[in-house]
Structure formats: C-alpha cells, structure tokens
Structure 1
C-alpha cells in the first residue's frame, strides 16, 4: 500500500472517531458554563448585600459632635520647610497659602507651631 492511502484511511477513521468522543468534551463545556453562570450570580448577590450593608452604615452615622471633630491632617515636613522659606523671603500668608496649596489657616497654624508667629 501507498503511504498517502494509509494516511487517508487513518484520517477518515480519526474523523469518525472524533464525532463519538466529541460529546464528552461538550458535557465538560456545559458544566463549565453552568459553573460560570452560577459564580456570576453569586457575585452579583454579594455585591447587592455589600451595597445594602454600606448604606446601613452610612445611614446610622449621624453628624459629628462639635467637640469630637477630627483634627486636620498634619502637613508634610517638606511643605513646612517651603512655608518657612517663603515666609523668610517676605511672602504674605495668602501668597504662601496659594503657593503651597494650603488654606490661610493651615499656613498660620504651621507658622505658629514653628514659633515664627505669636
């Protein structure tokens, strides 16, 4: 027999066999798809529950009492050095605030804490 004829016959046999064994892989694909769908549904349910809990937490938080308001966050040391340098150069508080992206009160607090202003 010729090699091309052997290859042709074996190819036809393999194609026929692939129809019989192809159904088992389809079952696995269906199982994976079902698992994927159920996972997606569970994720959506968890997101809804999380949103509900977040809303409950936000509703239960009332206004902060005046005596317990959080202090302003500390100014970074680099900004403090910049403020001191600008003040030493003769800039006014509003100019320093504009250049350092802080409020006038924050600049005054920094200058007072460093003993520059009394």
Structure 2
C-alpha cells in the first residue's frame, strides 16, 4: 500500500512542477516564431532588392560603351527588347533614346530593323 501512495505523491509533484516549467518552453516557441518572422521579412526585402537590380540591368541606365564604339557594335538584344517595349508603351524616340543610352538614329534604326513603322 505504500507503493501506490508514493507513486501518487510523485505524480502530483510532477504535475505541479509541469506548471512552473511549462512556461519556459512557450518563451522558446515565441523566440523561434520571432526569428522566423524576421527571417521571412529579410528574405522578402532581399527579393525586392534583387528585382530592382535586375530591372536596372534590363534598363541600362548608364551608357554601355563609348559613343564612338556604339556605332561599330550591334545593339544588345536586351536593349532592343527594351526599345520595343518602350515604343509599344507610347514613348517618343527621344525618350526611348534617353532611357536606352542610344542616339535617336540608333533607336530609329533598331525600330526599322524590327519592322516597326514610325
């Protein structure tokens, strides 16, 4: 009879102790959740920055080569796609030339080579 009584007392002690030590696991869960949220936010910010950089590379804000070398070298396909896209959006030749870092004549020749009527 002493053994069931001892086991009952030990069980009650463990139940009482679980109330005190159960809260520490909750704080760990909260920390993990906060870390997960911050990691998710940082990942989203990095994705946005990467998208911005990719768009800047597609637009080519600065001149790609020197002005004398431009005439001798063909226009890169990315710039051609950009010119066609800007023309389809209704931009003028001057605006397209400014955005693609090409001269007006080069923009016109690219458009004509792709069969776009001006």
What is the TM-score with the length of structure 2 in the denominator? 0.49
Larger Rg: 1
Higher RCO (CA-CA < 8 Å; seq separation 6+): 2
What is the TM-score with the length of structure 1 in the denominator? 0.49
